[in-house]
Every structure is written in structure tokens, then in C-alpha cells.
Amino acid sequence: MKAATLRSSCLLLWLLLHCTDSRSHGRAEFSLAGKSVYFIVIDRFARSGEQAANFTFCDLPADWVNNTGGGFCGGTINGITNHLDYIQGMGFDCLWITPPVQSQGFMGYDATNLFQINPHFGTKEDLVRLSAALHSRGMCLIVDIVLNHMRPLLVNGTVNLSSIVPFNDESHYHQRNRSRSQSFADYVAAWPPPAFNPGEDNAQLLTASQADSPAVCGHTVADHTECSCFPGNSGPNCPSFREDHLSTGWLGVMGDLNQSHEYVRAQLLSFVEGMVVNYSLDALRLDTAIYLERDFLPEIQAVAGVEILGE
């Protein structure tokens, strides 16, 4: 029953993302169907330039205690371009890369500026060259995008929105359960209401002897349920599940964007269209798609004009 719920959720998300099929930006008749895809974390694949021959092992962690990000090891977009023979030689048709936009941490899922390429990774021109190089080989490019949230708003104990582009106003973020007397900084510092509570849900399911099989979500220990797996809260089997909380709940202190806000919605759609057009993308992978407002998904598909894979 639980597996069926998960499959149904995935099918619903696929339908929502594809209900408006406008593919004017991508290559004509292109489809990901049957393609083999190679996934790369930009920062951890290959260095370039003077550091191209530097193969020193690096596994620096990002700082999630003070939320300062970091952890960069020197991998670049050009480093990927320089190794396309290797990737294509393994038989892959497409390349899927982590978010290339300016971010606080090396993974790229905590953006600070949606409209700039992370200087740790390279430049806009570098990404254009990577896309062109792939297409010249008959390969395709998929890029990860995040529309649900920005970087953590609480950094070193302080809330400062001025460095977040383009969402530098508190009205751009969800504020469910914020009291009238509570400042936005205090609201964030107290940790806003989450979209789900995996620890509590997992404990309740286990107590009720409703734990899923040990193999759920790839875990091999018996004390996990579907509710303890990211992105969590995947269905009504989880005690804290609330459909209306999925889009308004926060992931920790990651700035949870309010897609109902006219400015936020317009900027996000502009970002999506710009990424596809400027870099000739063949498809997008939409991170944390389950937490976006449902009526926003068809709009994303319409401006993208390419296939979208939702997390």
C-alpha cells in the first residue's frame, strides 16, 4: 500500500509537470526517453586551468552548523568540458549537473544569486561552451534548478537578506504561524514550521508497528520508515502529513520562497526561461518539486519549453 502511494505521488507530479507541453526552447523533437545520463557534482568532478593536473583528494564538508556553506574543492565547468571524451566513452548520452548558479555551498542547492554563475565553477561563457561541446557530440545537457528555497536565512546567528538576489525582502518568504508581535528575524531564528517532521513521524510509525520494509529508501536498517527518508512526508501514511503544509513548510532555515507572491513567481519563471534559452538546455531537473505550489508547476513547464524531471 505504501509503495502504491509513492508511485501515485510520482505519477501525479509527472502529470503536473507535463500538463502544459510547450517545448519551443529546446531541440526539436528531443526526448530523454531511452537516454543514459551521467550525473556530476560540478565542484567534485575535475579541476581546470593551472589546477587541471591537481588530483589531490578533497572532501571538504559544507558548514551546516553556522550555515556559512563553503566546502569548495575546485571542480569547474571547464573541468567537465575537458573530460567529455571520458564521459561519452563510457556510453552516456546526457550530462546532468548540479546547480551552477551562485551559491553558499559547494553543492549549489543553497543559491545566493539565481542570475549569476558561481565563480567557483566558472563563468556564463564556460557553461555556454559546455552546452555547445555536448551538442556537437550529439549529447544533451540537463541542469538542476531549485525554485523552492534559497540559502539558509540564518547565518552565524544573524538574519540578513541583503545578499540574496533577487529575493531580499521578508515578504518573499513563507511565514506560516508567524505571530504579529514576532519579528521576521526571530521567526527564522526559532525555526519556521517544517513541511514535515521526519523524526517524530518515524518514531510514531515505529511505535505503532507500522514500519516499512528495511529496504525502504535504500536504508538497510530496520528502524526507518518512508517518513524518515528525504524528501519525506511523501504521503498520508506519515502522521504529520498535511497537503497544505508541503508548500509553506520550511526545510530547516533554508529561505522558503513564497511562489504565490507575484514578484517571486515572476522572477522564478524568468530564471527558468533564461537558463534554458541562454545555455541551450535540453532538460531540467527540478529539485524539491514536491514542495512547490501545485498551480505553479504548469507555469514552470510552459516557460521552460523542455522536459522537466521532478524530485
> Would you state the pLDDT for residue 207?
58
Residues in the chain with pLDDT < 70? 1-28, 198-237, 239
Domains of the chain: 34-147+259-310 (3.20.20.80)
pLDDT at residue 105, as a whole number: 96
Query: Where does the chain have alpha helices with state H?
Result: 2-18, 77-81, 84-89, 124-136, 184-189, 198-207, 262-279, 297-304
Q: How much is the pLDDT for 14? A: 42
Give dist(CA 128, CA 131) in Å, integer: 5
**97 phi/psi in degrees, rounded to 5:** -115, 155
pLDDT at 245: 84
pTM of the model: 0.85
Phi and psi, residue 31, nearest 5°: -145, 145
Q: What is the pLDDT of residue 64?
A: 82
Residue 129 confidence (pLDDT): 98
Angle at 235 between CA 234 and CA 237, to 5 degrees: 120
What is the structure's pLDDT at 227?
Answer: 66
pLDDT of residue 30: 87
What per-residue confidence (pLDDT) applies to 224? 61
Q: What is the pLDDT of residue 217?
A: 53
Q: Answer whether 26's CB lies under 8 Å from 308's CB.
A: no
CB atoms within 10 A of CB 126: 19
Note the pLDDT of residue 18. 46
Residues 6+ apart with CB under 8 A from 293: 247, 259, 260
